[in-house]
Amino acid sequence: MNLMGDPRQSQGTLNLPFAGPALTLAQRTNRWPLTAWGYAGWRRRSLTLLTGEAFPLAREAALFRALCRPRPGEGWLDAGTSTGFYAGVLAGAGCRVLAADLSAPMLAAARRQTPHPHIDWFLTNLEASGLPDAAFDGVTVGATLNETREPARLLAELARLTRPGGQLWLMYVGRTGHPLQPLLTLPALGGLTFPDPAWVARHLPGCARTDAVQVGAVVFERYVKAQG
């Protein structure tokens, strides 16, 4: 099943009504056109605010490229692409990308802001996408883990979608003990999750962590899925 390279896939799914598992408040707000409109501006500054040091997108892209070394021709899933930051980095490295998100307004903004012939846009909830096993050489997960309703289910799904020997790149806000974090986990205040890296490791079946970098509250990790 070739998921990338057939633009009808993304065009068709973008037009379907969304159906799937229940969503957190954070996920629902990402489906507002206003959130999609403002997202790229927030994203440019987000890691500087969350790490407490200068952390432009170019630094994040350089860290990702240095640790994951995406190669031309590889097929990647950008899980929760928003406006397509990781999708754009991957396409720039010559990869084919399925950029998936559950927000149609985010995908529409991404298509405008990060157009590239190697990127297909796909509207889905990745906790239950129905994509086939081992479909991707690599998966990027930029902060989607913080927002999804069932992070353990998302991680299991992303491990399933990665081919043996393939890699997963995670960027997320980890558990810090900051007093705001328990509040933001409340359903009415966002329903966010702030995972502990040891918890993440336990929930990526058959995957081994090869790299971990923490800057302030932000965790970057590379995992490799075991061969066969």
Ligand X SMILES: C[S@@+](CC[C@H](N)C(=O)[O-])C[C@H]1O[C@@H](n2cnc3c(N)ncnc32)[C@H](O)[C@@H]1O
Residue 79: CB minimum distance to ligand X, A: 7
The answer to whether residue 138 forms part of the interface with ligand X (CB under 6 A) is no
- Contact by Cβ (8 Å): 164, 100: no
Stretch that binds ligand X, among 11-19, 62-70, 79-87, 183-191 (CB under 6 A): 79-87
Cβ pair 194, 174 in contact under 8 A: yes
Q: What 3-state DSSP class applies to 175?
A: coil
- HEC assignment per residue over 32-96: CHHHHHHHHHHHHHHHHHHHCCCCCHHHHHHHHHHHHCCCCCCEEEEECCCCCHHHHHHHHCCCE
Structural tokens at position 60: 């994040």
Gap between the Cα atoms of 176 and 13, Å rounded: 38
Interface with ligand X, residue 43, by CB under 6 A: yes
Q: Which is nearer to ligand X, 41 or 73 (CB)?
A: 41
Which of 77, 93, 96, 101 binds ligand X (CB under 6 A)? It is 101
**Is 122 a binder of ligand X (CB under 6 A)?**
no
Run of H or E residues at 172:
strand 162-173
Binding status of residue 147 toward ligand X by CB under 6 A: yes
Select 166 or 169, whichever has its Cβ closest to ligand X: 169
Residue 90 in contact with ligand X, rule: CB under 6 A: no
H/E element holding 220?
Answer: strand 218-225
Q: How far is the CB of 201 from ligand X (least distance, A)?
A: 20
Is-contact 109 36, C-beta < 8 A? yes
Find the binding residues for ligand X in span 186-205 (CB under 6 A). none
Tell me whether residue 10 or residue 103 sits nearer to ligand X (CB atom).
Answer: 103
Report the C-alpha gap between 185 and 91 in whole angstroms.
Answer: 34
Q: With respect to ligand X, which residue has the nearer C-beta, 27 or 118?
A: 27
Task: Rule CB under 6 A: say whether 28 interacts with ligand X.
Answer: no
Give the interface size with ligand X as a residue count (CB under 6 A).
22
Select from 10, 27, 114, 162 the one that contacts ligand X (CB under 6 A): 27
Residue numbers at the binding site for ligand X (CB under 6 A)? 27, 30, 43, 80-82, 85-86, 100-103, 106, 125-127, 142-144, 147-148, 154
